[in-house]
Amino acid sequence: MNAITIRTLQALKDKQQKFAMVTAYDATFAQLAADAGIETLLVGDSLGNVVQGQDSTIPVTLEEMVYHTRAVARGNARAERPALILTDLPFMTYGDVATGVASARAVMQAGAHMVKVEGDDWLVPLVKSLAQQGVPVCAHLGLTPQSVNKMGGYRVQGRDEAHAEAMINHSRALAEAGADIILLECVPSELANRITAAVTVPVVGIGAGAGTDAQVLVCYDLLGLNTGHIPKFVKNYMSGGRTVPEALRAYADEVREGSFPAPEHSFSA
Ligand code: KIV
């Protein structure tokens, strides 16, 4: 079967068909997730939390993202239908265009098909430059964990109208600059719906309600591997005695049919 590309994802949005994304940090899980039909694998800097035991994503380095991207790319290549791999550029590796381009080169050469960056319209020059150089970009807005210290904690974003309108404008600006995916984390469902309607590129949500074009979950959350606080948007797909491949398929099926996330996994304004 043909590998998933940005054209596949755009065609799904155009046909109003939803797709799934899950984080992956190693080869075995990457192959299992792609073989379960999950379209996109995110080598997320959440690996800092769940693999390394850090308190935030801030300590994660570019070299570590390259290492995990290589592992995921190897596993994904063995899948029947390889998924599209996105890799996070970690904290302060894309503060200006030249640094961001160099960081993107490192993860793309390690096997990523797209880079993910956190921020709003200050990213427009970087997104334009990457697009011109053939690098697909996912722009992550809303709760951006690399800015946890500036945000004063992990909190739902865009609850007031001024902030909501700014997020809609920033999403539009990033899509117009060349971003291929907008990712929204922890925003009210109504705002996520407005952004999904406002941009022509696919919108992926986590804690953003069921109205986006796609959903993402951290693989450890999906597999019930939690030790501390479990965020409201998480669902454990291992319940009911499923195997890991069954859990991955159940997640992808529920995303596609729109039954995940349910209202209890979502936020209101
Ligand atoms: O790093 C990550 O896993 C992420 C998701 C939470 C979207 O950015």
pLDDT tens profile 174-186: 999 999 999 999 9
Q: What's the chain's average pLDDT?
A: 98
188 phi and psi, to 5 degrees?
Answer: -60, 145
> Cα(44)–Cα(66) distance, rounded to whole angstroms?
11
**What is the residue with the minimal CA distance to atom 4 of ligand 1?**
44
> Cα(61)–Cα(67) distance, rounded to whole angstroms?
10
| pLDDT tens track for 49-80 | 999 999 999 999 999 999 999 999 999 999 99
Q: What is the DSSP letter of 231?
A: P
**Amino acid residing at 215:** Q
Task: Give the pLDDT band (50/70/90) at residue 223.
Answer: very high
Residue 93: partners with Cβ closer than 8 Å, 6 or more residues away: 62, 99, 100, 103
Helices (H), 117-258: 124-132, 148-151, 161-177, 189-198, 219-222, 244-257
The pLDDT value given to residue 1: 79
The reply to whether the predicted model has a pTM over 0.85 is yes
Task: Give the pLDDT band (50/70/90) at residue 228.
Answer: confident
**What is the residue with the minimal CA distance to atom 1 of ligand 1?**
44
Pairing of β 203-206 and β 19-23: unpaired
Q: What architecture does CATH give domain 6-265?
A: Alpha-Beta Barrel (3.20)
Residues annotated catalytic, as ranges: 185
Please tell me the distance between residue 218's alpha carbon and the centre of ligand 1 in angstroms: 7
What would the mean pLDDT of 19-28 be, rounded to a whole number? 98
Which atom in ligand 1 lies closest to the alpha carbon of residue 185? 7
Pocket test for ligand 1, best of 185, 204, 219 (most atoms within 8 A of CB): 185
